[in-house]
Amino acid sequence: MGSILKSDLKSQSDTRSPSPSQEKSTAALQFARQAEKLAFKSRSDDDQHATAAVEGKFVTPHDAVIETAEGGRLPAVPLKEAERLNELRERVDTGGQRSPAASSSSSSSSPSPSREGRVWPTQTSPTTLLAEKREAANSRPEESQGRLDTSTPPSHTHPLFPPLPIYGPPSFLRNLQCQSFRIFSFFLSLAFLGSIVLGSVLSSIPTVIRHTCMRLTGRNPDEERKFYAEELHRERTRKEAAERWERRLRQKKSDNDMETGEDEYPPSEGGKDLLVSDIAYYARRVGLDAEKFKVQTEDGFIISLWHLYDPKEYTPLPEEERQHRDPEVFQGQKKEGQRGSRNSSKRRYPVLLIPGLLQNAGAYCANDDDSLSFFLCKAGYDVWLGDNRCGLEPEHTMLTYSDPRMWAWNIRQMGVLDLPALISRVLYETGFEKLGLICHSQGTTETLVALARDQRPEISEHISVFCALAPAAYAGPLIKKMYFRFMRIITPGMFRIFFGIHAFIPFMMTIHSVLHPRIYGALGYKVFSYLFSWSDDRWDRGLRDRMFQFSPVYVSAESMRWWLGRDCFAKQKCILATKEDGIREEIEDHRYASGLCDGEGRADGAWYGPGVCPFAVWVAGSDDLVDGRRLLRRLENGREPHVNVVHAKVIEEYEHLDVIWALDMIDQVGKEVRDVIWKTAPEDVKVTCRIPRGVQPM
């Protein structure tokens, strides 16, 4: 009996305290399962060992991307998944035992030392961290791999930025479910789009009837347009320029002869507008040119970056030098002057322009010489244009269009990953330490999120001034429209059924490719005007079709869910504060304005910390899409004590897109942007850079 008891006690002791070799084997098995769960390909693929997940790299405390064995990058995953991968790898490396650093990470809220280059999430309570690790330890990849219902994380864990889905490597079941989502969402989203098109057509009937009646009575409805005379003048000018170009072609003059004349910027393209989605084509029509770079983000996406230049001063780089580099940002910068001074007597200060939602960088190039990008380039700046993620050409170093992981991103990834990658590449190519940043609409959202003290505030070190055009921080009254309300009331699961888990209504891009550009331009204007309640009253209508060749672009369904779904912006009405916080701040501001309180503690909820770059803000006063005035109040009423607002302007008659497309935009916005960028540029670079044309010496 005693021997049996001793044997039982020994067996229980072995169960309680496994040997180091057993612990290492268990840890290795768990690591292999977790690595397969987060891998690029499944275990059955021949080269799975090269694309297996080996580390979760925390590029910010809230963003963990997956690095594969061959050095590739996969998009961000929920933090607990990356933490579990790293913890298991640490246990394998230490012989199955948890390292002191790993142990302390479960019992302390401060960052723990770890493998070189790794950053651990901060400000996490021990109880929460322990619960997350216990939940992750209890999960098994075989239970969720390939099943989209179990791999989709809960959507109520964060009021502003809910976690993104984790889809895992391809499998038969996952591919079948993805295809089912694509089929269902195709018909449902097409029905939704059809209702929008029908609504836009019906809403335009009264205007058509009124204009028809006016023409029947001998009146011209276009004469009611504010800039009608200017539109006629510009139309004649474009027609004369096209005729001159055609005559030159017929005379078969040489290229050199064609470029001679009094024009400071002789065009190298001309004639009838081809209406294409090509920035370089429109640059050549105004005597400039453009080269296209490829930029890799820290999660492996490839983004297009355009560089405008004067062909008389600059020789474009060979194509191989314009390809994407490694994903690390703000490393290996070129020495000052290496690129910027080439072929020019004085360097140009760099500026980067980021477009809005459903647009690419061509939105800044649609108005000939009155385009903001061309104006700044001819004024003397080195102009760079960054496209949105996926844009017109979805591209990733590892993923393909059909992989749902290609589309598991929203505004946070665009801000904390895309924006630093674009800024880093511009600084690398120009040799500067800072640049001027100009953003419109969603581009301002990316930047406002990225600069926040709990996101990626260090990029402020590389921005001399942030120029926000129609800043999208607070929702306008348009969010209450019926079609937006529908997208807000359906559950996240229903949203994915309606709009899919890939690109948002990709049929729009199909229409773009098959319709005649003028038909597409007219249809695009009608639909977006109906959706966003703006008009072309202040635009050059002769160029309107050209404007819509650069929109819409590919955008993820997850990104649109962030904007319009039930959990995020549409509900909170703000990008960095909850609805409850917004109501409380409104009450406090009203009490402060009425003299009922002294305003003490107003800065306790500041979004931005010390060292944030200066802001310059242009608000469209008649903008129903976003509430720029409310952001301006926040910046000026003491809630953001660290933000230096170097310029602020409300243009009462402007609508959302007028800040980039209005006929008088150069006078209302462009010249002020030009001056503000130079005013805030570092003093040491002003000595070596040319003074922009039109800027008054200080």
Residue 289 is given by DSSP the state E
Taking phi first (over 0 means left), then psi (-120 to 50 degrees means alpha), and beta for anything else, what does residue 366 get? Answer: alpha
Which pLDDT value is given to residue 52?
A: 85
Which pLDDT value is given to residue 114?
A: 36
List Cβ neighbours of 179 (8 Å cut-off, separation of 6 or more).
none
- What SS3 class is residue 651? strand
Rg of the chain over all Cα atoms, to the nearest angstrom: 28
Judge if the upstream peptide bond of residue 552 is cis by omega within 30 degrees of 0.
yes
How would DSSP label each residue in 432-446? -S-EEEEEETHHHHH
**Does the active-site annotation cover 440?**
no
| Beta-bridge partner residues of 354 | 439
The one-letter amino acid at 227: F
Taking phi first (over 0 means left), then psi (-120 to 50 degrees means alpha), and beta for anything else, what does residue 103 get? Answer: alpha
Distance CA 531, CA 518 (A): 20
Q: Which two tokens stand for residue 532?
A: 């966003």
Distance CA 326, CA 617 (A): 34
Q: Give yes or no for a contact between 240 and 211, defined as CB atoms under 8 angstroms apart.
A: no
List Cβ neighbours of 434 (8 Å cut-off, separation of 6 or more).
427, 461, 462, 463, 464, 681, 682, 685
Give percent helix, percent strand, percent coil of the chain, each to the nearest 5: 50, 10, 40
What backbone torsions phi and psi does residue 4 show, to the nearest 5 degrees? -65, -40
List Cβ neighbours of 10 (8 Å cut-off, separation of 6 or more).
none
The one-letter amino acid at 342: R
Which pLDDT value is given to residue 599?
A: 63
Strands 302-309 and 382-386: antiparallel
Maximal CA-CA distance, the chain? 116
| Beta-bridge partner residues of 469 | 440, 618
| Beta-bridge partner residues of 60 | 63
The pTM of the full predicted model, rounded to 2 decimals, is: 0.88
Distance CA 44, CA 208 (A): 61
State the alpha helices, DSSP H only, in 598-638.
Answer: 628-636
Strands 73-77 and 302-309: unpaired
Residue among 441, 460, 464, 559 flagged as catalytic: 441
Distance CA 48, CA 41 (A): 6
What are the mean pLDDT values of the chain's consecutive 10-residue runs (698 residues total)? 47 57 82 88 64 88 88 89 90 68 38 34 35 40 41 51 85 90 93 92 91 92 92 95 88 55 84 95 98 97 98 95 93 54 70 96 97 98 97 95 95 96 97 97 97 95 98 94 89 91 94 93 92 93 95 95 91 93 85 71 86 98 96 92 97 97 98 98 93 85
**Does the active-site annotation cover 441?**
yes
Q: Which two tokens stand for residue 652?
A: 């009462």
**Does the active-site annotation cover 623?**
yes
Handedness of CA 480, 484, 489, 492 (dihedral sign): negative
Distance CA 497, CA 196 (A): 18
Which pLDDT value is given to residue 146?
A: 41
List Cβ neighbours of 73 (8 Å cut-off, separation of 6 or more).
57, 65, 66, 67, 296, 298, 299, 300, 327, 397, 398
Which pLDDT value is given to residue 259?
A: 47
| Beta-bridge partner residues of 351 | 383, 436
Residue among 307, 324, 512, 656 flagged as catalytic: 656
CATH fold group of domain 292-686: Rossmann fold (3.40.50)
Which pLDDT value is given to residue 132?
A: 41
Residue 462 CB: number of other CB atoms within 10 A?
20
Per domain, the residue ranges of the chain are 17-145, 292-686
The one-letter amino acid at 492: P
Distance CA 145, CA 171 (A): 8
What backbone torsions phi and psi does residue 617 show, to the nearest 5 degrees? -130, 130
Taking phi first (over 0 means left), then psi (-120 to 50 degrees means alpha), and beta for anything else, what does residue 60 get? Answer: beta
Handedness of CA 565, 388, 194, 474 (dihedral sign): positive
Which pLDDT value is given to residue 638?
A: 87
Handedness of CA 632, 391, 362, 336 (dihedral sign): positive
List Cβ neighbours of 149 (8 Å cut-off, separation of 6 or more).
none
Q: How far is CA 104 from the centre of its chain?
A: 36
- CA 79 → CA 65, 121, 122, 329, 692, distances in Å? 9, 8, 12, 21, 46
Residue among 370, 623, 624, 627 flagged as catalytic: 623
Q: Give yes or no for a contact between 39 and 51, defined as CB atoms under 8 angstroms apart.
A: yes
Which pLDDT value is given to residue 105?
A: 40
Compute, in degrees rounded to 10, the torsion defined by CA atoms 654, 660, 666, 671. 100
